[in-house]
Amino acid sequence: MARVMAYLAIASLGFVIGILIYVIGVLVLPWLIQSFPSIAELIASNRQIIEALLSGFIGSLLSVIIAYYWATRPSEL
């Protein structure tokens, strides 16, 4: 039962994060680019921002893999 709850918790968290990313990508980001055109140039030309975005993506992938292995390991009684 604990594994099912862990999967549900991770899935719920992923669902909420997915909704937030969608809202940011569809509503906030285009508004920011229209309001401040220099932001698009800054993101495209600044290597540190691109590296931070890649690091965040890799970190989220790693956290899901770690949660998967934690949830599938044999229970210790």
Q: Is residue 16 part of a domain?
A: yes
SS3 74: coil
* pLDDT at position 70: 82
CB 76 within 8 Å of CB 12? no
Q: How far apart are CA 51 and CA 53, in angstroms?
A: 5
Q: Is residue 77 part of a domain?
A: no
pLDDT digits (tens), the chain, 77 positions? 777 888 788 888 888 888 888 888 788 878 877 887 777 777 778 788 788 888 888 888 888 888 888 878 887 65
Cβ contacts of 50 within 8 Å, gap of 6 or more: 43
| Domain limits for position 31 | 2-72
Q: How far apart are CA 38 and CA 36, in angstroms?
A: 5
Q: Is residue 8 part of a domain?
A: yes
Cβ-based neighbour number of residue 2 at 10 Å: 8
* pLDDT at position 7: 79
Q: Is residue 14 part of a domain?
A: yes
- How many domains would you assign to the chain? 1
